[in-house]
Structure 1
């Protein structure tokens, strides 16, 4: 039973120490930051600084590289197509191509091509047009009496270091 003699402060509700409120508070003048120097200034924490010791991010070796010629494909799994068909976003009787997958929200607009993977099971007979497909995905589609059409991905031509053509007068 709660009585006045057994009331205890909740330890998690602890008021923060007020700094810079006069010398009598014990945290006046420099507010516990000491005199001068980098750590006494505002915005002090320098990420990754270890007091002059070589920081961890510089001690560890570099690895790998970013391939500027990589071809990035949007990945679509069989389970995603099945869910889209069940939720009436895709029509299994029509051919499923990039435009239909885009409309159903399964891929993004700026992808180079579409790769079909065999995650999950497909319970519908479909005709799908993609750029790449895994062997299992192709087997699963043919097992359901569907049709897989592979088309060549059209690479985006990026013109670098070329000035735009001047308009003719």
Structure 2
């Protein structure tokens, strides 16, 4: 069923962001779907019908002009998009990705457990020799 072989590595933990261009944002503001005076979030964009669903967040990209001052909260943005929003007098707030603390705790515990096991193993060797 696969005519070409799968190449490379597929990361199953990849974040899937919804792309939003500056031109599409300006079009929605001009159509009065979004209030530019209030803070624009992903949920507000979905409610306004600009985006269909959020997935793992919104990524702001440059395509088209942005003339209106906006305060937008996104999961990610390109450097050009941040520059375009700031040039219009607005502000881009990026959400921090969620931290994975469980894996850090597991690695610390396993390192401590391994150290304890090696210490216990050396003590057993000493008692057997005596």
- TM-score, normalised with respect to structure 1: 0.53
Instruction: Find the structure with the greater CA-based Rg.
Output: 1
Aligned alpha-carbon RMSD (Å)? 2.0
Instruction: Structure 2: give runs of 5+ residues left out of the alignment.
Output: 100-130
Counterpart position of 2:119: none
Per the alignment, in what secondary structure is the counterpart of residue 20 of structure 2? Answer: strand
1:123 Cα offset (Å): 1.1
Q: Looking at both structures, which has the greater relative contact order when contacts are Cα pairs under 8 Å and sequence separation is at least 6?
A: 2
Kept in 2, the 8 Å contact 1:76–1:117? The answer is yes
Runs of 4+ in structure 1 deviating by more than 3 angstroms, as ranges, are none
In the alignment of these two chains, the number of paired residues is 99
Q: Which structure has greater helix proportion?
A: 2
Residues 90-110 of structure 1 deviation map (CA, whole Å, 9 limit, x = unaligned): 011111011111112232335
Instruction: Structure 1: give runs of 5+ residues left out of the alignment.
Output: 1-47, 49-55, 156-169
2:33 counterpart of 1:89 = yes
- TM-score, normalised with respect to structure 2: 0.68
